[in-house]
Structure 1
Amino acid sequence: MRINPKSIWEMLKATAKSWNDSDPFRQSAIIAYYAIFSIPGLLMIVIWVAGSLFGPEAIRGEISAQVSQFMGPEAATGIEDLLANVELNDSNFVMKTIGVLTLIFGATTLFFQLQKSLNYIWDVESSPENGIKKLILDRASSLGLILVIAFLLLITLVLSAIISILGNWIDNNFGDVLLYAVQLLNFVLSLGVVSLLFAVMFKFLPDVEISWKSVWVGSIVTAVLFSIGKTLLGLYFAHADPSSSFGAAGTIILVMIWVNYTCLILFFGAEFTQVHARKYNHKIRPSKHAKWRAEHILKNMEDKPEPIKD
């Protein structure tokens, strides 16, 4: 597969047009709304799973550090307070079970809605005859994605610890030159972890079957855009302080802005993955529990040339 600058530019233009046509701002606003109700359960599940190896406090500290880096210390404090309010300390087994199920339902709702948005981008929809079965499978896949996030958080935590120790040793023995190389390595590894997360989303979350080749290309492009935007958004949060006018609701506003931005990048990456797959004739078809949307079928019918009459 040969990729030249001209073909990349053509794919980016086609992606931008498809992205704009799919109404991404409305889709991302929907996800941001659901995120407010899903984040407590999502974070608690991640802490329970990842904390089983490194301890809950270490995972809480890593989450707080990441939130502080992305959205500032005020948002990190708000997330810490939120987690403190959803602890399940009740000794009653029934109440704990209900609490756990409620958190799982809330956490999976975010990815359930994200799946619907990705399906809309890919022009597919669930088949009506698979209603209950498909709902259960979707919730299970959403929970699986949360476990993947927990696993990637563990990897990030281990890599951060190793690089921190290596960086201190190099700084003490070799000076700043090699230290920059370690920081570059840290950036590349972080980019790889984020790319893996996006690849899992593009491959398993929407109801389409797509080649891994296009998935990897799309996930790397999405990860690069995400890293650039993350830096710009961090500068915006640090200088503009958009939550200052909202008082106690400031943390919620920051989270919604962040999720909104992330979804816009995610949807652009999904569109790029689709454009790339079609350009290079990679496999794309609905999964066995889904079908093409009517709009997609009509569009293909319009694009087909009329038969030549004798």
Structure 2
Amino acid sequence: MTGPQLLLRQLRREAEGIVSYEFVSASGAPLPAFTAGAHIDLHLPDALLRSYSLVNEPGERHRYVVAVDRAAGGRGGSAWMHSTPRPGDRLASSLPVNDFPLYEDAPLSIFIAGGIGITPFVSMAARLNTLGRAWRLHYSVRSRHRAAYVRELNALDRSGNAVNLHCTGEDMERPDIAAIVREAPAGSHLYCCGPSGMLDAFASACSGLPPQRVHLERFSASQEAATTGGYEVQLARSGKTLSVEAGKSLLDTLLDAGVPVQYSCSQGICGTCCMPVLEGTPDHRDDYLSNEEKAANQSIMVCCSGSLTQRLVLDV
């Protein structure tokens, strides 16, 4: 979805390793509206596409604010964002998309965040304050220096006890996710965004709750990408057949062969690299497709998934 051209107005250090970017419309027109929990995709050099949660308050049409953690071992998106953009630069973006919506009528919203996973909850807390709804936050970081947006969240905390900061590198315990879920009042909705270990613990603790009350957003994969190789991928439209070698992903094989592939997270989370499957059985490693969609074997996330059969035919 093509969105507006954005003009970078300012950068700000939010915490150790975390920088926020405030964008305005390059044309001066109001920006497309968004809801709490939404993200935008930014188009970076070398065909990189990266998704970032919108941190600012829903209803604001004059700016988009995102925050980026300097991640080690990534494909270059965070490194570029931390080293290159300066005020006055322009970037293309998608329209806002919300795969992590806030249920605004819940009597209580309980947020569990780890690291940069705090970003969607800043927007959600602001929205709930506007609605007069209650919320609680459990925020886990390695140190206080790594805790972004604590001042803003404390300012939003009307009860004075909604923000619970857990600095695990300062002899503080991690959030007891099982206890948080167990003690959640009836009817409350629970949200989690953070590293895969936290999300796995959250999903396990919430297994007995109605699924409509449980919400999670991943920014890292729950399993390793398929790199065993040893199969062929046939591209039905072009007629090309490529060999996927051991140690390489399907995405890398396609890119090395000059096949234009849109991708973003490279971890099977965002759905950007989804391709139709005509023949073969994918080795699904993503967290985007539902169990039913995986069982149908009609789509594959080429960034992380592979093939369980000797040949995989893609509608490309």
Higher relative contact order (CA 8 A, sep 6+): 1
* Structure having the larger proportion of residues in helix: 1
Whether TM exceeds 0.5 here: the answer is no
Q: Which has the larger radius of gyration?
A: 1
* Structure having the larger proportion of residues in strand: 2
